[in-house]
Structure formats: C-alpha cells, structure tokens
C-alpha cells in the first residue's frame, strides 16, 4: 500500500475484527468502539510505507490504545462501562445497545470476560493477543513494551489464572460440572421437577443481604423450597454461566459480561447440598474465579 491509498476502505473492512479485539481487552462495547475510533485517528496520521500486513499492524495499534485505556481505568479505580449505563444514555453512540452487548458477551463467554477483568492490563492484552488471536510474541512485545520472552511469561501467567486450578480430581470435576450444567439448564427452563431432583433433600441455600430482598430469608432449607425459589429467578439465569468458583464448579451471573452474582455450589453424590449466593461487592472480590476449561 502506498501512503494512505485505500486506508479508509481497508480499515472499514477490518473494523469488525478490530472491534472484537478491543471488546475482549476492555469488556465494554462502548469502550471498544472508542478504542477503534482512536486507532483510526492514529492510523490516519501514520506513515504506512513499508507496512506489509495492514490488518496485523492495525491490530497492534488497537491493542496499544486498549492497554492505555486499561491502565487509565486501573489508576482511577473504574469498572468497564456497563449495559445499565448504556440504557441510561440511550444506547451506544453508533446505534447499538445493551442487547447487542449481551449477545457479544455470550459469544465470547461471560465467565471469560469476568476472569479477564481480574487480570492486570499487560497480562490481559498479552493473553487476548496470543491465545484468542494468535498474534506472535514478537508483535505482542512491541505493544506491551517488554521483550518477547517477558511477553510470553505475561501470557502464560494470564493463561494460568484464566483456566484456574480445581480443588477436586478430574473425575469429580467432570461429575460436579455436569450437575451444575444440568442445574443451570433446569433453572433456565423453569423445570421444577428437575431442580428438585438435582438438589439434596436437605440442601441449604445461603445468601448475603445484597443477593436477596430484605423480606426474603437469608437461609432456605429443603429441596422443594430451594427449587421453587430458584425457578422464580429463571430469567436471570440467562446471564449465568458455569465457572470454577474457589476451585469447584459453580455459576457466575454476568449480564453483558459484568459480574453481579456468584453461586458457590457444593456437590455430593450427584446432588447439590449447599448453595451460597454471593452478591456483596466485597464478597465477590474475594471469590477466586476461573473458566475451568469446561
């Protein structure tokens, strides 16, 4: 490509890809669109002579913008812009809205987005570029300002945190995950009989005061009572996904990829015996979360 010839057309052709990269790094569709726009402004002012792979070059430009945004966010102690904020503002500036973000979060994986939010900026960028888009470490190094070897270590640490480590053996992990997945499916479907079957007769549901209304008991006991209460929340289960919670299969509820509730579940003999519902912000920060590779 000579100079800026065809740059605008090529950028538009790559926009969906660049937006996808930015969304995985930032966890917010509005911020991703901002990052792509900033990348365009940088590209439009750059000397492109000698750029052989324009898509790859644009990917690194977006990644640098995202890294700056992540570092700025961390310094200010901010969270990604939420779908709730988008509703209040009347949707994204490009006409998209929370529905699109919810669909995108589901396609990426809500649990993955939640865990990515817990990584440091450089770790997140290195992981997304390498594991999700197969960008070579030599190029990642230019983005994060490290050597290729140091970039490899960043991605490796991030990968270990994303996948997590189970506190049960592989056989029990698979069995427990199957029970949790069946519980989620029954909750989404409002299947009371299936819920009762998946809960131990003496199951206990414990919830912090942020998780349930003031007039709802903090503890509920018995399969029927817990199942009936769970069925009431079937709509919220659409935003839930199986994850590794403190080393065991559980559930995260994360509308548009933003963590709102964690269900820490204890499974014994193929049934759930304890269900801890955590929504308190302090409690959520203390829970160890990972995708678990389910």
Whether 289 and 254 have beta carbons less than 8 Å apart is answered as no
The answer to whether position 75 is within a domain reads yes
Task: Give the residue among 294, 289, 246 at the shortest CA–CA distance from 116.
Answer: 289
Give CA 285 to chain center in angstroms.
15
Whether 230 and 267 have beta carbons less than 8 Å apart is answered as no
* pLDDT for 162: 97
Q: What is the mean pLDDT of residues 206-214?
A: 89
Please give the DSSP secondary-structure letter assigned to residue 281.
Answer: H
Domain end call among 163, 184, 205: 163
Task: Please check whether residues 37 and 157 belong to one and the same domain.
Answer: yes
Q: What is the mean pLDDT of residues 267-285?
A: 96
| pLDDT tens readout for residues 222-273 | 999 999 999 988 888 999 999 999 999 999 999 989 999 999 999 999 999 9
| pLDDT tens readout for residues 149-199 | 999 999 999 999 999 999 989 999 999 999 999 999 999 999 999 999 999
The answer to whether position 1 is within a domain reads no
Measured CA angle at 27 (ends 118, 79), to 5 deg: 60
For 123-134, give the DSSP string.
HHHHHIIIIIT-
| pLDDT tens readout for residues 4-61 | 557 888 899 999 999 999 999 999 999 999 999 999 999 988 887 778 898 999 999 9
* pLDDT for 4: 57
Task: Please check whether residues 105 and 148 belong to one and the same domain.
Answer: yes
Task: Please check whether residues 193 and 75 belong to one and the same domain.
Answer: no
Give CA 221 to chain center in angstroms.
32
Q: Which two tokens stand for residue 90?
A: 């009347």
* pLDDT for 96: 56
Task: Please check whether residues 61 and 150 belong to one and the same domain.
Answer: yes
Q: Which two tokens stand for residue 284?
A: 């959520």
Q: What share of the chain is helix, strand, coil (3-state, %, to 5)?
A: 55, 15, 30
Residue 193 host element (H or E)? helix 192-198
Q: Which two tokens stand for residue 48?
A: 């492109």
Task: Please check whether residues 153 and 28 belong to one and the same domain.
Answer: yes
Task: Please check whether residues 104 and 249 belong to one and the same domain.
Answer: no
Number of domains in the chain: 2
Task: Please check whether residues 248 and 274 belong to one and the same domain.
Answer: yes
Residue tagged 């644009």 (tokens): 58
The answer to whether position 116 is within a domain reads yes
Position 2 pLDDT exceeds 60: no
Task: Please check whether residues 16 and 146 belong to one and the same domain.
Answer: yes
* pLDDT for 82: 53
Give CA 77 to chain center in angstroms.
18
Domain end call among 118, 133, 163: 163
The answer to whether position 147 is within a domain reads yes
Q: What is the mean pLDDT of residues 192-212?
A: 95
The answer to whether position 2 is within a domain reads no
CATH number at residue 243: 3.10.450.50
Q: Residue 212 and residue 206: Cα distance in Å, rounded?
A: 10
Task: Please check whether residues 177 and 233 belong to one and the same domain.
Answer: yes
| pLDDT tens readout for residues 46-104 | 887 778 898 999 999 999 999 999 999 988 877 776 544 443 344 444 445 678 888 89
Task: Please check whether residues 249 and 278 belong to one and the same domain.
Answer: yes
The answer to whether position 177 is within a domain reads yes
Coil, helix or strand for 140? helix
CATH number at residue 76: 1.20.140.160
Residue tagged 């926009």 (tokens): 15
Max Cα-Cα span within the chain: 72
The answer to whether position 85 is within a domain reads yes
Backbone angles phi, psi at 134, to 5 degrees: 55, 40
Domain end call among 131, 163, 195: 163
The answer to whether position 202 is within a domain reads yes
Task: Please check whether residues 157 and 174 belong to one and the same domain.
Answer: no
Residue range(s) defining the domain that contains residue 208: 170-290
Task: Please check whether residues 219 and 251 belong to one and the same domain.
Answer: yes
């Amino acid at each position: 490509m000579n100079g800026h010839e065809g740059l605008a057309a090529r950028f538009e052709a790559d926009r969906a890809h660049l937006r996808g990269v930015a969304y995985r790094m930032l966890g917010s569709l509005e911020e991703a669109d901002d990052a792509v726009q900033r990348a365009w402004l940088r590209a439009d002012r750059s000397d492109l002579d000698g750029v052989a792979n324009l898509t790859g070059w644009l990917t690194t430009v977006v990644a640098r913008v995202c890294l700056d945004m992540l570092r700025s966010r961390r310094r200010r102690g901010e969270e990604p812009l939420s779908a709730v904020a988008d509703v209040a503002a009347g949707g994204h500036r490009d006409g998209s809205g929370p529905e699109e973000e919810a669909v995108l979060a589901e396609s990426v994986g809500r649990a993955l987005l939640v865990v990515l939010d817990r990584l440091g900026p450089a770790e997140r960028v290195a992981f997304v570029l390498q594991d999700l888009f197969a960008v070579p470490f030599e190029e990642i190094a230019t983005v994060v300002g490290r050597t290729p070897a140091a970039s490899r270590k960043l991605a490796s640490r991030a990968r270990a945190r994303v996948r997590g480590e189970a506190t049960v053996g592989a056989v029990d992990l698979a069995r427990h995950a199957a029970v949790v997945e069946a519980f989620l499916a029954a909750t989404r479907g409002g299947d009371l009989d299936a819920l009762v079957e998946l809960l131990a007769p003496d199951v206990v549901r414990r919830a912090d005061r942020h998780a349930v209304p003031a007039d709802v008991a903090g503890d509920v006991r018995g399969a029927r009572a817990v199942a009936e209460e769970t069925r009431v929340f079937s709509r919220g289960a659409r935003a839930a996904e199986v994850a590794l919670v403190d080393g065991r299969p559980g559930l995260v509820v994360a509308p548009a990829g933003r963590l709102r509730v964690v269900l820490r579940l204890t499974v014994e003999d193929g049934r759930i015996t304890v269900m801890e519902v955590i929504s308190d912000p302090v409690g959520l920060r203390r829970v160890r979360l990972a995708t678990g590779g389910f």
